[in-house]
Amino acid sequence: MRLDRNYAKPYLSPQEYETYIEKHRAELEKLKNGGHADGMLGWLHPEDWADEAMCTRIEELAGEIREKAQVFVVVGLGGSNQGARALIEALCPQDAMPGGPEILYAALNLSASYYETLLKRIDGRSVYVNVIAKNFQTLEPGLTFRMLRHYMESRYSKEEAARRIITTVTVGDGMLHRISEENGYRYLPFPEDVGGRYSVFTPVGLLPVAVAGIHIRELIQGAVKAERACLAGGELLEDAKSYAVTRNALLEKGYGIEVLSFFEPQLEAFGRWWRQLFAESEGKQNTALFPAVCSFTEDLHSVGQYLQQGKRQMIETFLHIATPPCDRKVDPEPQMDDGFDYLDGRTFHEINECAYRATVKAHSEGGVPCMIVELDGLDARSLGELMYFYFIVCVCSSVLLGVDPFDQPGVENYKTEMFRLLKTKK
C-alpha cells in the first residue's frame, strides 16, 4: 500500500504544508504510536477481538450457515453492516470460496417496498438471519428484526427459527443480549470499546464476511500488518499523518469536499464504508471535508463534468488497484469497421489504466488537488491493511480538527422529532 501526494503539491506548497504542521504541532504530538485519541480504542489491536478462538468460532458458525442456508440476511445499519458489505462486494466472487448462501441486507431503510422485495427474495428458501446492533435502540434494525422474527417463526418451529437467528450484541445488560438469552439465539459479542464504524475486524464484520466465503484470517493479517507498521511509528503512520495533514491544510485553504474515486465498480460499497467513516467521525463542530464517492468510468460521464469544470472546491483521492483480480483481451473485429480498431491487442486492464492516468492528469491540471492510494491487488489481506490505514487517517484527521472521532451526536437531532411524531397517539 502506498500514498502518493505529488498531484496535490501544486495546490499546497511545501511552505504551506510546513506551516500547517507547525500550527498543529501539539495535536500531531498526540499522534505518536498509531494515531491515538482518547475513547473507543478497542479496534486499535484487531487481534484483541479476532484472536484464534474467536476466528475458529466464527468459521465454524459460518461453515454451518454456508452448508444449510440458501439466503443469509444481515440486519444492521450504518457501522453495523457497512464494513462487511464493503468486503463482500469487493471480494466476491473472485477471492471467496465457491458456494454459500446469497447475502441480503435488511434494515437499511424504512421502506415498505424494500421490505416486501426482501420477503419475496427469501420466501421458499432456507433462511438464516444475523441481527447486528450495538445498542438495539436504532429503529431500522428493531423494526426489521421484529418483522423477520415473526416471518421466521411462521415458517419454522420456534426452536428451528431460534437456531437460524444469530445476533451480534453488546454482552451484559444490552437489550438484544437479554432477548437472545431468553429465546435461545446464538450470539457473538459486539465489543463495548469499539464503535460501529470501527467494527469491521470484530465479529460484527467477520461473521457475514466468513459466510460469504472470504478468508477472515487473511483480512486480520492485513489489518495486523498495518497495525504493526503504524505502532512502530513507521512509514505507514507517516503516510497516514501526511494524508491527514494534506486534506485538512487544503480544508483551511477553502476546499470543502473530498471525493474518493476508483475504477473498479466492486469498490462501490467500500466507498460507502469510507464515506460513513469520515462523515460520522469528522463532520461536527461545523468543520471537515464532505466525503463523496465516484465510481469511474461511469461517473466520468456525470459528475466528471463538475469535477473538471465546476466550482473549485474538491480534492480527490484515487484508490488505485495496481493489478485487478481479472483481465480480458479485447476481441478483434475483422468483419466490420466499428471505429475501435485502436483497441486491438489491448486488454481491459490496459484500457482502464489509460482512463485512470488520463483522469488523474486532467483533474489535477484542472484545479483539483489529487492524491493516490495504491493497492497491489484486490484481496482480503490488502483490504484489511487499507481499512486499518483509513481508521488511522480518520483518527489523525479528527484530532487535527479537534473533534471526537468516536461519537455522532448530530444523528440524534432528527430522531427527537421522529420519536415525538411516532409516540404521539394516532
Catalytic residues: 280, 301, 415
d(CA 369, CA 5): 9
DSSP codes, 306-317: HHHHS-S-EEEE
Beta strand ranges found along 216-272 (DSSP E): 257-262
Kindly state the smallest distance separating residue 192's Cβ from ligand PA5, in Å.
12
Instruction: Take residue 299 and report the three cell numbers written for it.
Output: 461517473
Q: Residue 8: which residues within 8 A CB-CB, separation 6 or more?
A: 246, 250, 315, 369, 370, 371
Residues in touch with ligand PA5 (CB under 6 A): 77-80, 133-135, 138, 141, 195-197, 280
Closer by beta carbon to ligand PA5, 107 or else 237: 107
Kindly state the smallest distance separating residue 98's Cβ from ligand PA5, in Å.
31
Closer by beta carbon to ligand PA5, 202 or else 261: 202
Kindly state the smallest distance separating residue 75's Cβ from ligand PA5, in Å.
10
Kindly state the smallest distance separating residue 411's Cβ from ligand PA5, in Å.
7
Single-letter code of the amino acid located at 160? E
d(CA 272, CA 291): 10
Closer by beta carbon to ligand PA5, 43 or else 255: 43
Burial class (CB in 10 A: 0-12, 13-18, 19+), 120: exposed
Q: 260 vs 43, 67, 278, 289, 321, CA distance in Å?
A: 23, 37, 11, 12, 13
154 half-sphere exposure, CB direction, 13 A CA radius: 9
Kindly state the smallest distance separating residue 407's Cβ from ligand PA5, in Å.
8
Closer by beta carbon to ligand PA5, 258 or else 280: 280
Which DSSP symbol is given to 98? Answer: S
Kindly state the smallest distance separating residue 280's Cβ from ligand PA5, in Å.
5
d(CA 23, CA 72): 50
Closer by beta carbon to ligand PA5, 195 or else 208: 195
Q: Which residue's CB comes closest to ligand PA5?
A: 196
Instruction: Take residue 144 and report the three cell numbers written for it.
Output: 426489521
DSSP codes, 192-203: TTS-GGG-TTSH
What is the largest distance, in Å, between two alpha-carbon atoms of the chain? 73
**Measuring CA to CA, which residue among 417, 293, 308 is closest to residue 358?**
308
